[in-house]
Amino acid sequence: MSQASSTWILAAQCPSRLGTVDVVTRFLKENRCYITEQQSFDDRLSERFFIRTEFRPLDDDFSAETFQAAFAERADEFAMAFELTPPGRRVPVVIMVSKADHCLNDLLYRYRTGQLPIEIRAIVSNHPDLAPLAEWHDIPYHHFPITPETKAEQEAQVWEVIESSGVELVILARYMQVLSSDLCTKLSGRAINIHHSLLPGFKGAKPYHQAYDKGVKLVGATAHYINDDLDEGPIITQGVEPVGHADYPEDLVAKGRDIECLTLARAVALHVERRVFLHARRTVVFDR
C-alpha cells in the first residue's frame, strides 16, 4: 500500500494548457503542503491533462474545506475538475459473487489485514453457497436468486442494497450474470469486473479446458469498469502467467484463479487510491 494512508490525495484533470502542473504545485507550496508523490500525464491526442498528487500539510490547522474552496478558485481558470481524499479513508464497497469463492476470499483477506483501504458493507449473490464465509467475517449477505423471468426484479433488489449501503464502488468478484443496460448505466465508473483473458479467445463453458486443447502458452485476467458491452469496459489492469505443455486443464484453472485474484485486488487498490482516471473508453492509470 502506498503512503496514501498518511497523506492527502489531490486528483485532477482538465484541458491541456500551459501552467497545469504549476497551478497545483504552486498552490500546495503557498499553503504549506509538502508533496510526497506526484504523477501527471498529458494526452496529446485528446488534449487532456491528468495529475495525481499526494501531500502532507505542514500546519496542524489544515482545513479540507478551506483548501477546497481556495483551490477551486485557481482550478476554475483551467476548467479543472478535482477531488480531495483525506488520509486513511476506507472506500465503502459492495461485492457481488456467484459460486466461485477465490476472488472473494482474497478480497476478504486483504480487507481484514488492512491491505485494501475498503469497507465491505455487503455481499450480494445469486446463490446461497458463500453465506457462511460472509457470516464468518460478520458481513451482511444477500441472496437474490435470478431467472430470465425475474431478472428485472432481482436487479431491483441488488440496486436497493447498493443504494441503502451508501457505497461508492461495486466489485464483481466472479459474478456470473450479465448485468442489464439499466444497471450498467447506474454503475458507470464505479463497478469493477474481473474475467479471464485467454489468447486466442475462448467463450462459453470451460474456457481453460478449451485453451488446453489449443495448447495456449499464456493465461491471464483483465479487470475493467463495466459498461453495456459485455467484458469490454475500460481496462484498469491485466495480469498474465505462462503455462507449458506439462500443465493440464486443472493446472490452467488453478493458475487462472491466482491471476484473477491478483489482478482484481490490484485494480481495486488503484481505484480506491484515486490512481485511475476514466478517459472516454480508456483509462489513465498512475501505477504504484
In angstroms, the Cα distances linking 176 to 43, 118, 195, 230 are 35, 23, 10, 12
Same domain, 60 and 163: no
In angstroms, the Cα distances linking 13 to 37, 159, 198 are 17, 30, 34
CA 145-147-152 angle, 5° bins: 90
For every residue of 147-186, DSSP letters joined together read -TTTHHHHHHHHHHHHHHHT-SEEEESS--SPPPHHHHHH
Same domain, 223 and 155: yes
Q: Which of the listed residues 53, 85, 117 is the one where a domain comes to its end?
A: 85
pLDDT at 2 over 60: no
pLDDT in tens, 64-90: 999 999 999 999 999 999 999 999 999
Residue 203 confidence (pLDDT): 76
Same domain, 54 and 101: no
Same domain, 215 and 278: yes
CA distance 27 to 70: 9
CA distance 118 to 126: 23
Same domain, 48 and 176: no
Q: Which of the listed residues 45, 66, 85 is the one where a domain comes to its end?
A: 85
Residue 266 confidence (pLDDT): 98
Tell me which of 43, 101, 228, 231 is the catalytic residue: 231
Residue 201 confidence (pLDDT): 77
pLDDT in tens, 230-288: 678 999 999 999 999 999 999 999 999 999 999 999 999 999 999 999 988 899 999 98
Residue 199 confidence (pLDDT): 61
Question: How many domains in the chain?
Answer: 2
- Give the mean pLDDT of 28-46: 97
Same domain, 149 and 99: yes
Residue 6 confidence (pLDDT): 77
Same domain, 133 and 232: yes
Same domain, 66 and 126: no
- Whether 231 is catalytic is yes
Which one-letter DSSP state was computed for residue 205? Answer: S
Query: What is the domain-level CATH number for residue 48?
Result: 3.30.70.260
Same domain, 76 and 215: no
Same domain, 243 and 119: yes
Q: Give the pLDDT band of residue 4 (cuts 50, 70, 90).
A: low
pTM of the predicted structure, to 2 decimals = 0.93
Same domain, 115 and 231: yes
pLDDT at 3 over 60: no
Q: Which of the listed residues 85, 110, 143 is the one where a domain comes to its end?
A: 85
CA distance 50 to 7: 19
Domain range spanning residue 59? 3-85
Residue 206 confidence (pLDDT): 85
Mean pLDDT, all residues of the chain:
94
Same domain, 40 and 69: yes
Query: What is the domain-level CATH number for residue 167?
Result: 3.40.50.170
* Contact criterion met (CB below 8 Å) for 110 and 90: no
Residue 28 confidence (pLDDT): 98
CA distance 100 to 52: 35
Percent of the chain with pLDDT over 90: 87
Q: Could you tell me the three cell numbers for 192?
A: 469493477
